[in-house]
Amino acid sequence: MIEPLYNDVYLGLGSNLGDRFDFLNSAIKMIKQNKRINIHKISSIYETKPFGNQEQTNFLNAVVFISTNLSPENLLIELKSIEKELGRKQRKKWDSREIDIDILFYGSLIIKNDNINIPHPYIAERDFVLVPMCEIEPNLFHPILKKKICEICIEEKETFIIAKYNRSILA
Q: Say what the pTM is.
A: 0.92
CA 78 to each of CA 68, 69, 147: distance values in angstroms, whole numbers, following the listed order: 12, 12, 29
Q: Which CATH superfamily is domain 7-164 in?
A: 7,8-Dihydro-6-hydroxymethylpterin-pyrophosphokinase HPPK (3.30.70.560)
Which segments within 26-109 are labelled E, that is strand?
37-42, 46-48, 59-68, 100-106
Q: Express each pLDDT in 26-74 by its tens digit.
A: 999 999 999 999 999 999 999 999 877 677 899 999 999 999 999 999 9
CA dist 163 and 134 (Å) reads: 16
Ramachandran bin of 82, using left for φ above 0, alpha for ψ from -120 to 50, beta for the remaining angles: alpha
Shortest CA distance to 152 belongs to which of 105, 85, 101? 105
8 Å CB contact between 148 and 133: no
Q: Express each pLDDT in 100-129 by its tens digit.
A: 999 999 999 999 999 999 999 999 988 999
Shortest CA distance to 52 belongs to which of 119, 8, 97, 13? 97
Please report which confidence band the pLDDT of residue 3 belongs to, taking 50, 70 and 90 as the band edges. low
φ/ψ of residue 96, rounded to 5: -60, 155
